[in-house]
Structure 1
């Protein structure tokens, strides 16, 4: 979203966190972003959710990035030391220009953000949290899921995905529901095939 390395030191690695329910389109959006990112810009992806194997394979193949699976529990639930070790290992092995964390659908953003901020003195900084909203199903999630409400509240940008598959009236209802939870955060429509402006995210 923006660079704040001057505040954290020249070697600080920015961390971008994607939240959103399983099937919201996080992996597709990340894949599209990275396909349009310079190969010289070294990005490492920490996945906390098993998605479609073919898509995840394409993610690594087409964007020339390293994909690391974190399989033992949600990032919001794991020990702080476990996440710290994962980030430190990626920084040591790959010297990334940026780390992207794709969380599980059930992950709470706040504990993840807190853990990353705890590592600011160790060469990391939280650049942004982005929540991907599935516009087809959000009202059902929002009505029944505390996690969906928290994800919509604790975020820097809300990415409205799959909006083209519903009517403008239905989209207005989704946005109204989101605004009831979070009025001030920018809400951006995702383009075809998960297209989002890289300048907006990075």
Structure 2
């Protein structure tokens, strides 16, 4: 939470729209936002950017709401026939479990992108190491965000720390307050093994 997921998501959505040769009104990209609580906050930012958002409330997508999540993905897939579905999970979710549910229950290919806060990384790791290590499980893409707030040495140490928990992950130092280029996303998707067709990041 607070790692900059929504800023990254908005840039990712724009990129996917561009490579789909469409626009927002064609609904080629669907965003599902998972919130803990009874009211969305980040969705206001997305809606102000002209994206349509489907919220999931009352629990984490990977545990108490797992059935609801797959039902929502299935419904939106049939209703809008999107080329891409993006799930922005709460910071308390386990992305590998979401990915597994989408792939095994719906037969869709999926990938995970983890966003971490470079400035708060070691503090969070010290407080909940087992939880953080589980979140990093199986992902191929980790965005080390907010590098503008820390020094180069800290960024390197964060990446080294991440690789202790997932040595196969590609780490991308970024500042989501700046525009991430199409080339950046091309490289990320290629390394994640996602090249074409309908995908669920």
* Structure 1 counterpart SS, 2:177: helix
Which structure carries more strand by proportion? 1
* Structure 1 counterpart SS, 2:54: strand
Give the distance between the partners of 1:97 and 1:74, measured in 2 at CA: 25
Pairing 1:26–2:5 present:
yes
Pairing 1:151–2:135 present:
yes
Contact 1:107-1:147 at 8 Å conserved across structures: no
* Structure 1 counterpart SS, 2:136: helix
- TM-score, normalised to structure 1, is 0.77
Pairing 1:141–2:124 present:
yes
1:98 alignment counterpart: 84
1:17 alignment counterpart: none
1:77-98 alpha-carbon deviations (Å, 9 max, x no partner): 1254322211111112222111
Q: Which has the higher contact order (CA 8 A, sep 6+)?
A: 1
1:125 alignment counterpart: 109
Structure 2 residues not aligned, in runs of 5+: 195-201
Give the distance between the partners of 1:99 and 1:86, measured in 2 at CA: 11
2:171 alignment counterpart: 187
* Residues 178 and 99 (structure 1), Cα distance of their counterparts in 2 relative to 1, 3 Å cut: same
1:109-168 alpha-carbon deviations (Å, 9 max, x no partner): 2221221111344xx221x11110100001111122122122223312010100121111
Runs of 4+ in 1 over 3 A off after TM superposition: 50-53
Paired residue total: 176
Aligned partner (choices 74, 80, 93) of residue 88 of structure 1:
74
**Root mean square deviation of aligned Cα:** 2.3
Structure 1 residues not aligned, in runs of 5+: 1-21
Give the distance between the partners of 2:106 and 2:131, measured in 1 at CA: 26
Pairing 1:160–2:147 present:
no
